Amino acid sequence: MTIQKFQKQIEDIYFTRDFARGIPLTFTWFVEEVGELAKEIRREPQNIERLREEFADVLAWLSTLASLLNISLEDAAEIYADGCPKCHATPCKC
């Protein structure tokens, strides 16, 4: 799945509800999901399947925020297409 397809998929599933909730509240949900990812990263022993789910959730909330703000994640990712955005090197030499 491409980033663009993922963003469209998340829009199809959640955009109406997320639009009604609004950006500020949706952002707090995103932060909450980041917190859940942090907990899963710290869990011993690590559970790869749960980690994978938490990464998916964080990505979904990030994606819906981008959609609410009319940002294409695909376009945003392009900023890194030619290496580090500051020094343009891969790996970064900053």
Q: Which residues bind Zn ion (CB under 5 A)?
A: 84, 86-87, 92, 94
Query: What's the min distance (Å) between Cβ of 68 and Zn ion?
Result: 30
Backbone φ and ψ of 5, nearest 5°? -65, -40
Query: What's the min distance (Å) between Cβ of 84 and Zn ion?
Result: 3
CB closer to Zn ion out of 68 and 84: 84
CB closer to Zn ion out of 13 and 92: 92
Query: What's the min distance (Å) between Cβ of 88 and Zn ion?
Result: 7
